[in-house]
Amino acid sequence: MVPAENESPTILEMKSITKEFPGVKALENVSIRVAAGEIHAICGENGAGKSTLMKVLSGVYPYGTYTGEIVYLGETVRFRDIRASEAAGIAIIHQELALIPQLSITENIFLGNEPRKRGAIDWVEAHRRAIDLLARVGLTDDPDTQIKNIGVGKQQLVEIAKALNKNVKLLILDEPTAALNEADSQHLLDLILGLRGRGIAAIMISHKLNEIEQIADSITIIRDGHTVETLNVKRDGVDEDRIIRGMVGRVLEHRFPERNSHIGEVFFEVKNWNVQHPLTAERMVVKNSSFIVRRGEVVGFAGLMGAGRTELAMSIFGRSYGNFISGELYKDGKQIQARNVGEAIDNGIAYVSEDRKALGLNLLDDIKDSVVAAKLSKISRAQIINHVEEHNVADEYRKSLRIKTPTVDEGVNKLSGGNQQKVVLAKWLFTDPDLLILDEPTRGIDVGAKTEIYGIIRDIAAQGKGVILISSELPELLGVSDRIITIFEGAITNNVPASEADPETLLKSMTSTKKKVNDK
């Protein structure tokens, strides 16, 4: 393709890409064009085909497993594996980072590509080059630091340093900020903009539309495996509503569904809860925390990454995190014991983890096994599972939660992120909880699936159950919660009705030890 006047030359064209799996056409005649030095966003609902398209480009799905043509740097390419695409200057950074926690930063950067001298690995040269690469991505950490000892935001930067070591010309980022707090997200976005200034093109997949609007030059929207349109952000005056309309094929009038709260009496209470870090005895991750939940109420928990929100939730759910020191749980005015997950479930507590793949699901299971996994006794007689009932239960949740799959016999590993999240929700709804704790339930899923999950939260509360919603997105907390509790350094610092809250007030409470707590 010859570039138009004042238009950058094309670095990549994917033409009429079609990719099929057994019984499913994931991509059909999808085409995109990326200019040199451009940040090109790909948007679409979960299951639209975004990640599949990038796996085709990077050689994860090799030439011969799809139809269509890939033209890169003016030549048709046929990558047989990911090494071939990396050798050509294409690097992909997946949402699940491909780093080894026990190895150092240096070892991760050069893994499989170590500098050598006289046939042996030259660690002196590797260390020197690592310092240079880390400086390019704004990291000052010692290259000998183990990956497990740095935060997720820094790990993302190590992945980019690893790509820069391979002389990347086209960087693919799949949900790069999904697990990052606001500060780390902005640092990463600034870095991507800086790479663009050095002539490195980027393809970015993200469900955070405000970030797409902030840094993208152009946006290709994919829906149900088809290219819908490509937008020039500046020329077409693109905003979040415009992107959403392309993604879902309609205008979403209300991202947060309207609800008339009918809040009842207090039924769940946490008193003076204290939890130690599992490895560092002197570090308290939950400090003398007390709060209540009323029937029909959605209680939001806000805090920066590492503030203690997840630690509090997991410790309440059967002491699943840390070393329990002291505290009491009450349900309907009576003290209860939740010393393990079984006791927590028996007392009507359910917890949807923020990490659906590592803690929420067994990716080797199919959907029906996953849905009933937390309460097998409900479909068993004399310890024998009724497989017909298992299938029927799972299929009811498939329909009611609109899980996109032709059958509940499908493996959960084949589902999109949003549909995997719905399976996790189904698993815990099947236990019939009185208190449902949701930890980042919409992380890494598209705006349409988010709206559906908000509707599920509304319906659960309408049944007179209590919901605890942990989220890093303040608009989400403000739009869904009845009341918001803030946490800073393991301690509760504020407790305010959502109708009286605003982002500025919440942020102050999320960054200060000064308490403004009112349980009423």
> What pLDDT score does 518 carry?
58
Residue with tokens 């995190």: 321
Smallest CA-to-CA distance from 93 within 8, 218, 14, 188 is with 188
The region that residue 231 occupies, defined by phi over 0 for left and psi between -120 and 50 for alpha, beta otherwise, is beta
In the predicted model, residues of the chain with pLDDT beneath 70 are: 1-7, 179, 250-254, 512-520
Smallest CA-to-CA distance from 297 within 519, 501, 520, 482 is with 482
Q: Are 90 and 167 in contact (CB under 8 A)?
A: no
Report the C-alpha gap between 12 and 58 in whole angstroms.
12
Report the run of H or E that residue 493 belongs to, with start and end. Answer: strand 491-497
Say which residues have a Cβ less than 8 Å from residue 467's Cβ, sequence separation at least 6.
Answer: 297, 298, 299, 435, 436, 437, 438, 457, 460, 461
Q: Distance between the two ends of the chain, CA-based, in angstroms?
A: 65
> What pLDDT score does 497 carry?
95
> What pLDDT score does 33 carry?
96
> What pLDDT score does 7 carry?
64
pTM attached to this predicted model: 0.67
> What pLDDT score does 280 carry?
80
Q: Which residues pair with 77 in a beta bridge?
A: 70
Report the C-alpha gap between 275 and 322 in whole angstroms.
6
Q: How far is CA 262 from CA 254, 259, 294, 478, in A?
A: 20, 9, 10, 17
Q: Which domains does the chain have, with CATH numbers?
A: 10-248 (3.40.50.300), 259-348+434-520 (3.40.50.300), 361-432 (no CATH)
What's the pLDDT tens digit per position in 120-157?
999 999 999 999 999 988 888 899 999 988 877 788 88
What's the pLDDT tens digit per position in 52-63?
999 999 999 999
> What pLDDT score does 252 carry?
55
Q: Are 485 and 299 in contact (CB under 8 A)?
A: yes
Smallest CA-to-CA distance from 356 within 339, 370, 368 is with 370
Smallest CA-to-CA distance from 426 within 400, 447, 445 is with 400
Q: Are 273 and 312 in contact (CB under 8 A)?
A: yes
> What pLDDT score does 514 carry?
60
Q: Are 266 and 469 in contact (CB under 8 A)?
A: no
Smallest CA-to-CA distance from 30 within 66, 74, 79 is with 66
